Amino acid sequence: MTDTNVEKKLRVKTVKPKKKGIRVGIGSLVLILFCSFLLIISTFLQLEITHLIIPSKIFSGETLTVKDFLFTFRYIPQIPAVLFIVGLLGRRLGITSILLYIILGLFFMPVFALGGGWRYIFEYSFGYILAYIPAAFLLGTILKNNGYTYKNTAKATILGVLLIHLIGLSYMMCIAALKHTGWDFVGNWFLSQSGLKILYDFIFSYIAILIAKYARIVLWLYL
């Protein structure tokens, strides 16, 4: 056996390591843009939800009408939209879509509820927008590791919504301290942004993730 044949037999095939990176296909890019647009729509969409209440003047002896027992709450479904996006796209692409929305609002277009521009970071509500990123990471991780079961979806919904409100309220209090805002304002803000609203956030976010679950199946079949 010649030296050349021995070298051929002993030759080891080298395998080049695959480069890891973020690869976004055309389909994924379209979904990212669509979800960012969906987030913009949810910012300016108001759902009027009417439910029964016990009026404060029920024991005053005044004549009450049906309207006195009804309360209409104007709900902005932005948090359910965020959780839907993460449930649909997953953690990585979901965060990308949310980041695109934030970048558009800070530097290009007035897509936030009160406008846009880099000075928006001093708005009381900007903390809720920032909180979408860690909430998306947490939600995406839970769904990826444990699946879209009803129990796990409820767990992800509760933790995601609570994290958004916790960060949002903490940020609001920091801005209030910088602007020397009184505690009356802080209390009213808490009631308006994290009072009754958080209950609807839980309900609609849970439904949104379940819708995203079946939407993923449709996308997997047709894309």
CA distance 207 to 94: 17
Neighbours of 159 (CB within 10 A): 14
Decide if 20 is inside a domain. no
Average pLDDT, the chain: 81
3-class secondary structure, 161:
helix
pLDDT in tens, 73-103: 788 899 999 999 999 998 899 999 999 999 9
Q: What is the reported pTM? A: 0.79
Total domains in the chain come to 1
Decide if 122 is inside a domain. yes
Report residue 41: phi and psi, to 5°: -60, -45
Which token pair is 88? 């649909």
Domain extent, residue 157, equals 26-222
Decide if 172 is inside a domain. yes
Decide if 184 is inside a domain. yes
Decide if 9 is inside a domain. no
Decide if 162 is inside a domain. yes
pLDDT (tens, 9 = 90+) of the chain, 223 residues, equals 555 554 444 444 444 444 444 455 787 888 899 999 999 999 898 887 777 766 666 666 667 676 666 777 788 899 999 999 999 998 899 999 999 999 999 998 899 988 888 898 998 889 999 999 999 999 999 998 888 888 899 999 999 999 999 999 899 888 888 877 767 777 776 676 667 788 899 999 999 999 998 888 887 765 5
CATH number (domain holding residue 183):
1.10.1760.20
pLDDT in tens, 183-202: 777 777 667 666 778 889 99
CA distance 186 to 176: 7
Decide if 1 is inside a domain. no
Contact between 152 and 143 under an 8 Å Cβ cutoff? The reply is yes
CA distance 94 to 80: 13
Decide if 60 is inside a domain. yes
